[in-house]
Amino acid sequence: MNAPHDLAARVLHRNRQHTLGEQLAALFAVRIGRRALPPGTRLPSVRECARLHQVSPSTVVGAYDHPDVRLPGSGGAAEIAIHARRTLVISRLNRRAFPETVDFITSPGHRMRGRTRRELHMPGAGPVKVVTDKAILEVHPDTGELVLAALYPGVEAEEVRACVGWPLRSRPDVDLVDPPTPDELVLLRDVLDPHRLYLKG
């Protein structure tokens, strides 16, 4: 017997009270308690459930086994983030990629439950800038929180703030990024990415 479609389509909410894995586990528990999922019902596969809820497979595995099983997903990212002299993060700017909270951390940044990298004995500098398709963010030295540091031409600060899941603060002096020069465009298009694996234009 297959699981009812509404079980897989239920929306999860990223908030501070309950992780996505806890919400998913609670959803299954409620459906089982109400006999909407009788014995023998086949739950959605891990991959299908992750796709429908837009969460990582390890979150689904945690919900299915609440939460004794986690898939190893960082692939060494934690060690790089801890020990590298500095790291630059490149990402498209949207609320899914920049939520207010996350279920678990694969690559530590500048604060962990209020403690600094130094207090946690992390020798590397951590992420110094986050380069996105709309703006550049950098780490506030006192709070460890990302702040708006620079805007691309034609992008407003409110547009950037609408793409993150927390109240994004700005540096007192937000820079404007200059458009690439003709020489830089040649370097990007013909040398660094001639097959357009990353560049679209």
pLDDT, the chain, mean: 81
Report the pLDDT value the prediction gives residue 13, as an integer from 0 to 100: 67
Report the pLDDT value the prediction gives residue 150, as an integer from 0 to 100: 97
Q: Which residues on adjacent β-strands are paired with residue 2?
A: 42
Give the whole-angstrom CA distance, residue 199 versus residue 33: 50
DSSP 136: E
pTM of the model: 0.61
> For 123-141, what is each residue's pLDDT tens digit?
999 899 999 999 999 999 8
Question: Regarding predicted confidence, which is higher, 144 or 46?
Answer: 144
The SS3 assignment for 189 reads helix
Comparing 23-37, 50-64, 96-110, 135-149, the range with the smallest average pLDDT is 50-64
Cβ contact 64:43 at 8 Å: yes
Query: What does the pLDDT average to over 32-55?
Result: 73
Report the pLDDT value the prediction gives residue 60, as an integer from 0 to 100: 65
Residue 65 reports pLDDT greater than 80: no
Place of tokens 């380069």: 131
> Which amino acid, one-letter code, is at 69?
V
Place of tokens 């694996």: 197
Residue 163 reports pLDDT greater than 90: yes
Phi, psi at 25, each rounded to 5°: -65, -40
Residue 4 reports pLDDT greater than 60: no
DSSP per residue, 26-57: HHHHHHHHTTSS-TTPBPPPHHHHHHHHT--H
Question: Regarding predicted confidence, which is higher, 176 or 56?
Answer: 176
Beta-carbon neighbour count of residue 87 at 10 Å?
A: 18
Residue 71 reports pLDDT greater than 60: no
Cβ contact 142:172 at 8 Å: no
Domains and CATH numbers, the chain: 5-65 (1.10.10), 77-192 (3.40.1080.10)
Report the pLDDT value the prediction gives residue 70, as an integer from 0 to 100: 45
